[in-house]
Amino acid sequence: MREMVLVGFLQAQNCTTLASAWRHPDARSDFTTAAYYQKIGQVLEAGKFQIGFFDDRLAMPDIYGGNPADVVANGVRVVKMDPVVTLMAMGLGTKYLGIGSTASTTYYEPFDVARRFQTVDHMLGGRAAWNVVTSVNDGEAQNMGRDVHMDHDLRYDRADEFMEIVHGCWDGWEADALVVDKQSGLFAHPEKVHRMEYRGKFLKSSGTFTVPRSPQGHPVVIQAGGSTRGKAFAARWGETMFVGYPDFETARRDYAAMKSSIGALGRDPSKVTINTIAYPVVAETRAEAEDKWALIDSLYKEVDGLSLLSEALNYDFKKKGMDEAFSDEEIEGMSGMQAMRDRVVEKTGRNPTVRDFLEITRRGRPREAIIGSGKDIADRLEKWFTEGACDGYVIAGTHTPGTFEDFVKFVIPELQRRGLSPKEYKGATLRENLGLEIPDVGSWKL
């Protein structure tokens, strides 16, 4: 029977995707310690989640108002530690959980990313994943020594080359290249270790990769592009995907379209799982869950939404009055997450205001919280999963580790009882737990 993929949406930060999460009375505050991440990993593992995944951005959301004072004072996602290092700490405190981290194709070098993730994959016995992003804003550009962020579609064109180099690196060592035979003195078969020469329009790399193939071949590639260009990139490269479907009908439509785009490229759509964000708020009874939700919603501040919108759309929302409409030129100038911008323009049917952006995106608050008992949540997750809207869920926390503890306590037993989520891990590697085969060298080439 088909089982859903469950991903814990994690941050190496002071909060969840909700800036308000750190204000929750039950949120732990030791977010700079390994113990905090290991605890979350152990909770996810108890629930047989396939992946814990760390989001990332290479800057504070301080585009809003042009200085960091507001976001620092309010703790609006200002702590962002290195997610790969944090991933390792979590990995060493767990045994089966697949663990992924985000890394940017725009600001890192492909050899570096290939080597770092392949190393982590070895260290964790084949449990690593890489969430490929092209990054979103000028804050990231400036931290990384550039003036402005590269144009939206161009950075995906460049990312295609980046992926070819990374996969070229990962293909450097055939699976049985390593021998380490002290008797014969043969360390590795030279005919099975290949030098790469790559020259593209944007990037080049030549050399012999320095990390052997890992127990699952190479890390699993996660992708979450939402724009037209981003989706084409996801269909080409993603081995599992993250999406934020806003409602059931859109989900069914976009899910079918993505599966068909994957198939059109000659890839097997049934192997590529598509997982949509969910914000569950769960308790023993629906009434208790409603109370929990009321508390969570009360923790939100307007500065959370405005600074996270500015971050995502690479535009300072403090420049406009709350009910002032953006001009065509200003809308065009929003160069971050264009799928988000386009949705707001489409929903309003006119030039939107700041308030429209806040209300439609619900940035900084759960967009589609699912509130109820374990059975209520399981019903909702089952519906989308069985009726062609997704293959799994990226479970986002309202506070940590509380959200994941509640989910594992109230929802997982219900999902397992219905045969919708696994009772045991299928194997030691992430690929085994996602039903993915170990890739052959070169199998990524279309």
Ligand X SMILES: Cc1cc2nc3c(=O)[nH]c(=O)nc-3n(C[C@H](O)[C@H](O)[C@H](O)COP(=O)(O)O)c2cc1C
The residues that touch ligand X, with contacts defined as CB under 6 A, are 9, 55-57, 102, 131, 133, 135-136, 224-227, 230, 242-244, 277, 337-339, 394
DSSP label at 411? I
> Measured from the CB atom, is 213 or 341 closer to ligand X?
341
Based on CB atoms, which residue is closest to ligand X, 7 or 124? 7
Q: Which residues contact 65 (CB under 8 A, 6 or more apart)?
A: 307, 316, 318
Question: Cβ 17 to ligand X, closest distance in Å?
Answer: 8
Under a CB-based contact definition with an 8 Å cutoff, are residues 159 and 230 in contact? no
Question: Cα separation of 321 and 308, whole Å?
Answer: 17
- By C-beta, is 152 or 292 nearer to ligand X? 152
Residue 280 parent element (H or E): strand 273-282
Q: With respect to ligand X, which residue has the nearer C-beta, 217 or 219?
A: 219
Smallest CA-to-CA distance from 21 within 397, 371, 388, 435 is with: 397
CB of 220 to ligand X, least distance (A): 15
Crossing angle of helices 34-46 and 83-92, in 10° steps, is 60
Smallest separation (angstroms) from ligand X to the CB of 384: 15
- CA atoms of 68 and 59, how far apart (whole Å): 11
Which residue, 217 or 397, has its beta carbon nearer to ligand X? 397
Nearest-approach distance from CB 226 to ligand X, in angstroms:
3
User: From CA 423, how far away is CA 125, in angstroms rounded?
Assistant: 21
Cα dist. 134→39, 109, 175, 228, 378 in Å? 30, 12, 30, 14, 34
* Smallest separation, CB 232 to ligand X (Å): 9
Least CB distance to ligand X at residue 340 (A): 7
Nearer to ligand X, 56 or 254 (CB): 56
- Which position's Cβ is nearest ligand X? 230
First to last CA, the chain: 30
User: To the nearest whole angstrom, how small is the minimum distance from the Cβ of residue 40 to ligand X?
Assistant: 17
Q: How far apart are CA 19 and CA 303, in angstroms?
A: 10
The nearest distance, CB 159 to ligand X, in angstroms, is: 10
What SS3 string covers 58-82?
Answer: CCCCCCHHHCCHHHHHHCCCCCECC
Dihedral sign computed on CA atoms, order 55, 59, 64, 68 = positive
Q: Give the residue with the Cβ less far from ligand X, 150 or 378.
A: 150
The residue among 211 and 224 lying less far from ligand X, judged by its C-beta, is: 224
DSSP summary character for residue 219: P
The amino acid sitting at 222 is I
